[in-house]
Chain A
Protein backbone atom coordinates (compact mmCIF):
# COMPACT_ATOMS: atom_id res chain seq x y z
CA UNK A 1 0.00 0.00 0.00
CA UNK A 2 1.55 3.29 -1.05
CA UNK A 3 1.96 6.28 1.25
CA UNK A 4 -0.56 9.13 0.85
CA UNK A 5 2.47 11.26 -0.03
CA UNK A 6 2.72 9.34 -3.28
CA UNK A 7 -0.40 11.18 -4.40
CA UNK A 8 1.45 14.49 -4.44
CA UNK A 9 2.98 15.70 -7.69
CA UNK A 10 5.31 18.06 -5.80
CA UNK A 11 9.01 17.32 -5.53
CA UNK A 12 11.59 18.77 -3.15
CA UNK A 13 11.95 21.69 -2.46
CA UNK A 14 8.25 22.21 -3.19
CA UNK A 15 7.06 19.14 -1.33
CA UNK A 16 6.28 20.96 1.87
CA UNK A 17 4.81 18.17 3.93
CA UNK A 18 6.83 15.15 5.00
CA UNK A 19 4.02 12.94 6.26
CA UNK A 20 0.30 12.73 5.52
CA UNK A 21 -2.35 10.69 7.21
CA UNK A 22 -5.95 10.53 6.05
CA UNK A 23 -8.06 10.51 9.22
CA UNK A 24 -11.48 10.20 7.58
CA UNK A 25 -13.37 11.62 4.59
CA UNK A 26 -13.20 15.15 6.01
CA UNK A 27 -9.96 15.28 7.99
CA UNK A 28 -6.28 14.77 7.29
CA UNK A 29 -3.09 15.45 9.21
CA UNK A 30 0.42 16.20 8.06
CA UNK A 31 3.86 17.16 9.33
CA UNK A 32 5.89 20.20 8.30
CA UNK A 33 9.60 20.24 9.15
CA UNK A 34 11.67 23.37 8.67
CA UNK A 35 15.40 23.17 8.13
CA UNK A 36 17.65 26.21 8.34
CA UNK A 37 18.86 25.23 4.86
CA UNK A 38 15.36 25.61 3.35
CA UNK A 39 15.06 28.38 0.81
CA UNK A 40 12.60 29.32 -1.88
CA UNK A 41 15.30 31.40 -3.52
CA UNK A 42 12.98 34.20 -4.50
CA UNK A 43 12.78 36.34 -1.38
CA UNK A 44 9.42 34.80 -0.57
CA UNK A 45 8.99 34.26 3.15
CA UNK A 46 9.36 30.61 4.04
CA UNK A 47 6.38 30.81 6.38
CA UNK A 48 4.08 30.56 3.36
CA UNK A 49 5.33 27.01 2.94
CA UNK A 50 3.44 26.07 6.09
CA UNK A 51 0.23 27.15 4.35
CA UNK A 52 1.37 25.28 1.24
CA UNK A 53 1.97 22.20 3.42
CA UNK A 54 -1.61 22.44 4.71
CA UNK A 55 -2.84 22.67 1.11
CA UNK A 56 -0.78 19.65 0.06
CA UNK A 57 -2.17 17.67 2.98
CA UNK A 58 -5.69 18.71 2.00
CA UNK A 59 -5.00 17.97 -1.64
CA UNK A 60 -4.19 14.35 -0.93
CA UNK A 61 -7.53 14.07 0.88
CA UNK A 62 -9.57 15.92 -1.75
CA UNK A 63 -8.11 14.31 -4.85
CA UNK A 64 -7.36 10.78 -3.73
CA UNK A 65 -8.58 8.36 -6.33
CA UNK A 66 -8.59 11.02 -9.04
CA UNK A 67 -6.32 10.81 -12.03
CA UNK A 68 -6.70 14.53 -12.68
CA UNK A 69 -4.56 17.09 -10.84
CA UNK A 70 -5.92 19.56 -8.33
CA UNK A 71 -4.76 23.06 -7.60
CA UNK A 72 -4.53 25.46 -4.69
CA UNK A 73 -6.83 28.18 -5.96
CA UNK A 74 -7.18 30.66 -3.07
CA UNK A 75 -6.06 31.40 0.48
CA UNK A 76 -8.10 33.50 2.87
CA UNK A 77 -7.81 34.64 6.47
CA UNK A 78 -4.27 33.29 6.88
CA UNK A 79 -2.58 33.96 10.21
CA UNK A 80 1.07 33.19 10.96
CA UNK A 81 2.35 33.69 14.49
CA UNK A 82 6.08 34.26 14.00
CA UNK A 83 9.02 33.89 11.66
CA UNK A 84 10.19 30.30 11.27
CA UNK A 85 13.19 29.05 13.18
CA UNK A 86 15.39 26.26 11.84
CA UNK A 87 14.38 22.94 13.31
CA UNK A 88 10.78 23.85 14.01
CA UNK A 89 8.16 21.23 13.23
CA UNK A 90 4.43 21.57 13.09
CA UNK A 91 1.54 19.15 13.07
CA UNK A 92 -0.92 20.13 10.36
CA UNK A 93 -4.62 19.50 10.76
CA UNK A 94 -6.96 20.19 7.87
CA UNK A 95 -10.74 19.85 7.69
CA UNK A 96 -12.90 19.74 4.59
CA UNK A 97 -15.65 22.29 5.26
CA UNK A 98 -17.57 22.02 2.03
CA UNK A 99 -17.30 20.81 -1.54
CA UNK A 100 -19.33 22.31 -4.33
CA UNK A 101 -18.69 21.14 -7.85
CA UNK A 102 -14.96 21.05 -8.34
CA UNK A 103 -14.17 23.51 -5.53
CA UNK A 104 -13.28 22.33 -2.03
CA UNK A 105 -13.02 24.62 0.98
CA UNK A 106 -10.69 23.64 3.82
CA UNK A 107 -9.78 25.09 7.20
CA UNK A 108 -6.29 24.28 8.43
CA UNK A 109 -4.08 24.83 11.45
CA UNK A 110 -0.38 24.25 12.14
CA UNK A 111 0.38 23.31 15.73
CA UNK A 112 3.55 23.15 17.80
CA UNK A 113 2.31 20.90 20.56
CA UNK A 114 -0.94 22.59 21.52
CA UNK A 115 0.29 26.05 20.45
CA UNK A 116 -1.08 27.37 17.19
CA UNK A 117 1.57 28.61 14.76
CA UNK A 118 -0.62 29.28 11.73
CA UNK A 119 -4.12 28.93 10.45
CA UNK A 120 -5.79 29.53 7.10
CA UNK A 121 -8.87 28.96 5.05
CA UNK A 122 -8.02 27.77 1.59
CA UNK A 123 -9.68 26.45 -1.52
CA UNK A 124 -8.61 23.63 -3.80
CA UNK A 125 -9.94 23.24 -7.32
CA UNK A 126 -10.14 20.01 -9.22
CA UNK A 127 -9.60 20.02 -12.93
CA UNK A 128 -12.86 18.19 -13.52
CA UNK A 129 -16.13 17.53 -11.69
CA UNK A 130 -15.45 13.91 -11.03
CA UNK A 131 -12.94 14.12 -8.22
CA UNK A 132 -15.22 14.51 -5.23
CA UNK A 133 -18.79 14.27 -4.12
CA UNK A 134 -21.12 17.18 -4.62
CA UNK A 135 -21.86 17.54 -0.95
CA UNK A 136 -19.87 17.45 2.22
CA UNK A 137 -20.89 18.78 5.59
Chain B
Protein backbone atom coordinates (compact mmCIF):
# COMPACT_ATOMS: atom_id res chain seq x y z
CA UNK B 1 0.00 0.00 0.00
CA UNK B 2 1.46 3.39 -0.97
CA UNK B 3 1.87 6.15 1.60
CA UNK B 4 -1.10 8.38 2.32
CA UNK B 5 0.02 11.26 0.08
CA UNK B 6 0.56 8.96 -2.90
CA UNK B 7 -2.82 7.40 -2.25
CA UNK B 8 -4.52 10.80 -2.19
CA UNK B 9 -2.93 11.67 -5.53
CA UNK B 10 -3.99 8.34 -7.02
CA UNK B 11 -7.55 8.83 -5.78
CA UNK B 12 -7.68 12.28 -7.37
CA UNK B 13 -6.49 10.81 -10.67
CA UNK B 14 -9.12 8.08 -10.47
CA UNK B 15 -11.92 10.51 -9.65
CA UNK B 16 -10.97 12.74 -12.59
CA UNK B 17 -10.87 9.74 -14.92
CA UNK B 18 -13.99 7.95 -13.68
CA UNK B 19 -16.17 11.02 -13.29
CA UNK B 20 -14.88 12.54 -16.53
CA UNK B 21 -13.74 15.87 -15.09
CA UNK B 22 -12.35 17.39 -18.26
CA UNK B 23 -9.66 20.06 -17.92
CA UNK B 24 -9.07 19.18 -14.26
CA UNK B 25 -5.84 17.94 -12.73
CA UNK B 26 -5.13 16.40 -9.31
CA UNK B 27 -3.69 19.74 -8.22
CA UNK B 28 -7.14 21.30 -8.66
CA UNK B 29 -8.59 19.13 -5.89
CA UNK B 30 -7.62 19.99 -2.32
CA UNK B 31 -7.15 17.12 0.10
CA UNK B 32 -9.83 18.48 2.41
CA UNK B 33 -12.18 19.97 -0.19
CA UNK B 34 -15.73 18.63 0.24
CA UNK B 35 -16.46 16.17 -2.55
CA UNK B 36 -20.21 16.66 -2.41
CA UNK B 37 -22.21 19.69 -1.29
CA UNK B 38 -20.32 22.93 -1.55
CA UNK B 39 -17.19 21.37 -2.97
CA UNK B 40 -16.76 19.42 -6.15
CA UNK B 41 -20.52 19.08 -6.29
CA UNK B 42 -20.65 15.33 -6.69
CA UNK B 43 -24.08 13.69 -6.60
CA UNK B 44 -25.53 10.28 -5.75
CA UNK B 45 -24.60 8.83 -9.14
CA UNK B 46 -21.00 9.95 -8.58
CA UNK B 47 -21.11 8.29 -5.14
CA UNK B 48 -22.09 5.03 -6.81
CA UNK B 49 -19.19 5.42 -9.25
CA UNK B 50 -16.82 5.89 -6.29
CA UNK B 51 -18.15 2.63 -4.86
CA UNK B 52 -17.52 0.89 -8.20
CA UNK B 53 -14.03 2.44 -8.34
CA UNK B 54 -13.10 1.30 -4.82
CA UNK B 55 -14.17 -2.22 -5.66
CA UNK B 56 -12.40 -2.46 -9.02
CA UNK B 57 -9.20 -0.61 -8.04
CA UNK B 58 -8.75 -1.66 -4.42
CA UNK B 59 -10.98 -4.71 -3.98
CA UNK B 60 -13.04 -2.94 -1.32
CA UNK B 61 -16.74 -3.68 -1.08
CA UNK B 62 -18.94 -0.99 0.41
CA UNK B 63 -22.04 -2.29 2.14
CA UNK B 64 -23.22 0.50 4.38
CA UNK B 65 -24.31 3.63 2.58
CA UNK B 66 -24.53 5.92 5.59
CA UNK B 67 -21.02 5.17 6.87
CA UNK B 68 -19.65 5.29 3.33
CA UNK B 69 -20.92 8.82 2.85
CA UNK B 70 -18.90 9.89 5.89
CA UNK B 71 -15.74 8.39 4.37
CA UNK B 72 -16.52 9.99 1.02
CA UNK B 73 -16.56 13.52 2.40
CA UNK B 74 -13.10 14.48 1.08
CA UNK B 75 -10.04 13.01 -0.61
CA UNK B 76 -8.27 12.93 2.76
CA UNK B 77 -11.06 10.94 4.44
CA UNK B 78 -11.37 8.66 1.42
CA UNK B 79 -7.62 7.95 1.44
CA UNK B 80 -7.67 7.16 5.16
CA UNK B 81 -10.61 4.83 4.61
CA UNK B 82 -8.90 3.01 1.71
CA UNK B 83 -5.65 2.70 3.65
CA UNK B 84 -7.31 1.38 6.80
CA UNK B 85 -9.54 -1.10 4.97
CA UNK B 86 -6.73 -2.30 2.71
CA UNK B 87 -4.32 -2.81 5.59
CA UNK B 88 -7.02 -4.61 7.59
CA UNK B 89 -7.55 -6.94 4.62
CA UNK B 90 -3.84 -7.71 4.42
CA UNK B 91 -3.66 -8.47 8.13
CA UNK B 92 -6.79 -10.64 8.10
Q: How many A-B residue pairs have CB under 8 A?
A: 40
CB distance from B10 to the nearest CB of A (A): 21
Contact surface of B with A, Cβ cutoff 8 Å: 44-45, 47-49, 51-52, 55, 61-65, 68
A98/B47 in contact, CB under 8 A: no
Q: How many residues of A contact B (CB 8 A)?
A: 16
Query: Nearest Cβ distance between residue A66 and chain B, in whole angstroms?
Result: 17
Complex Cα gap A74–B55 (Å): 21
A125 contact set on B, CB distance < 8 A: 44
Q: Residues of B contacting A137 with CB < 8 Å?
A: 55, 61
Q: Which residues of A contact B49 (CB under 8 A)?
A: 105
Q: Report the bound CA distance from A102 to B63 in whole Å.
A: 13
- A100 vs B62: C-alpha distance when bound (angstroms): 9
Are A103 and B52 within 8 A (Cβ)?
no
Closest CB in chain A relative to B22 CB, distance in Å: 14
Query: Which residues of chain B are within 8 angstroms of A135 by Cβ–Cβ distance?
Result: 61-63
Q: Is there a chain B Cβ closer than 8 Å to A73's Cβ? A: yes
Least CB distance, B54 to chain A, in whole angstroms: 11
A102 touches B52 (CB 8 A): no
**A123 on interface, CB distance cutoff 8 Å:** yes
- Residues of B with C-beta under 8 A to A97: 52
Contact B61 A123 (CB under 8 A): no
By beta carbon, the residue of chain A nearest B44 is: A103
Q: Does A18 contact B (CB under 8 A)?
A: no
Assembly CA distance A79 to B76 (angstroms): 36
**Are B52 and A98 in contact, CB atoms less than 8 angstroms apart?**
yes
Residues facing B in A86-137 (CB within 8 A) are 97-103, 105, 123, 125, 129, 134-135, 137
